[in-house]
Amino acid sequence: MTTTFSGSSGPVVAGAPPGASLPAKRRDPRDPRGSRRPARRHPAHLLRRWVSPIALVGLWELASRTGVLEQKTLAAPSTVFAKAVDLARDGTLGSATLVSVERVALGFVIGASIGLALAVVAGLSRAGEDAIDPPMQMLRTLPHFGLIPLFIIWMGIGEAPKLALIAMGVAFPLYLNTLAGIRGVDRKAVEAARSMNLTWPQRLRHVILPGALPQTLVGLRQSLGIAWLSLIVAETVGADDGLGYMINIAREFLQTDTIVVGLAVYSLLGLATDAVVRYLEKRALAWRV
């Protein structure tokens, strides 16, 4: 029977020559547990993800050229692309996009500031939770698009109701996710920080906020999506500039190519902001990898 003894130089087999030990177990490079770095996707996989979108655009073009889709119903992709080039050259698309981005940015800052501040107060204080959470839970069930008539009555048809609509759409997802993140912080970590004589601001900075950060970033992604959705609705009501205004004018003249261009820009802007948040999430939460 072979027995092994543990020594400083590794396990030793009884009866083996002095100094001999079992060979160290080599880590399989294919074992996903052997490395903390995530596996990179093969380029072929990324290419395959583009097959179905390109096929759909090709079918769309084919349907338009064969008359299955009429121009007044939906313009062909080639027509949409040509229209986008024309709008970009004459400056219409650029100025409209800039106005829309400014509205989303300002509305997002207002809504995010309110949502984060209320979530921190409600998450860190029982009295704050009792005062803030019930009305927030009631208000979040309201369809905020249905508040547009009231916003117009209260604020007129200027920029204020548009910013209020965007801010309201941003505040609730960020509030709910941040509050859930603060509540989900490991109490043992908080107690450990207290036993290390960390002050309350230090515990907040080094334990509570980093623990709530993953949920906050989830809320941030949701809020950005709702911000762009709110902008689309806001700019179709009493706007005289922006992408929504451009789409409204095109609707009056049945210019489906311009409508599709505006919708495509909305979509690309939403994807771009989501990509920025995912990049920040990857950098800020690198410790989870």
Q: pLDDT tens digits, residue range 232-271? A: 888 877 778 889 889 988 988 888 999 999 999 998 998 9
pLDDT band at 40; cut points 50, 70, 90? low
Q: pLDDT digit string (tens) for 58-114? A: 998 898 888 888 878 888 889 999 999 999 999 899 999 999 999 999 999 999 999
Which comes out higher in pLDDT, residue 162 or 36? 162
Q: What's the pLDDT at 88?
A: 93
User: Does residue 131 have a pLDDT over 80?
Assistant: yes
User: Does residue 5 have a pLDDT over 60?
Assistant: no
Calculate what percentage of the chain has a pLDDT beyond 90: 29
The pLDDT mean for the chain works out to 81
Which comes out higher in pLDDT, residue 204 or 161? 161
User: Does residue 14 have a pLDDT over 70?
Assistant: no
The angle at the Cα of 191, spanning 186 to 192, to the nearest 5 degrees, equals 95
Q: pLDDT digit string (tens) for 196-208? A: 877 777 777 778 8
Q: What's the pLDDT at 39?
A: 52
Q: pLDDT digit string (tens) for 41-66? A: 566 766 777 888 888 889 988 988 88
Residue 273 to residue 289: CA distance in whole angstroms: 23
Q: What's the pLDDT at 45?
A: 67
- Token pair, residue 128, equals 């704050």
Fold of the CATH domain 60-288: MetI-like fold (1.10.3720)
pTM of the model as a whole? 0.75
What is the DSSP track for the chain?
---EEEETTEEEETTSPTT--PPPPPPPTT-GGG-SSPPPPPHHHHHHTTHHHHHHHHHHHHHHHTTSS-TTT---HHHHHHHHHHHHHTTHHHHHHHHHHHHHHHHHHHHHHHHHHHHHHHHH-HHHHHHHHHHHHHHTTS-GGGGHHHHHHHHTTSHHHHHHHHHHHHHHHHHHHHHHHHHTS-HHHHHHHHHTT--HHHHIIIIIHHHHHHHHHHHHHHHHHHHHHHHHHHHTSS-SSSHHHHHHHHHHTT-HHHHHHHHHHHHHHHHHHHHHHHHHHHHHTGGG-
What residue ranges do the domains of the chain occupy?
A: 60-288
Q: What's the pLDDT at 41?
A: 59
User: Does residue 23 have a pLDDT over 60?
Assistant: no
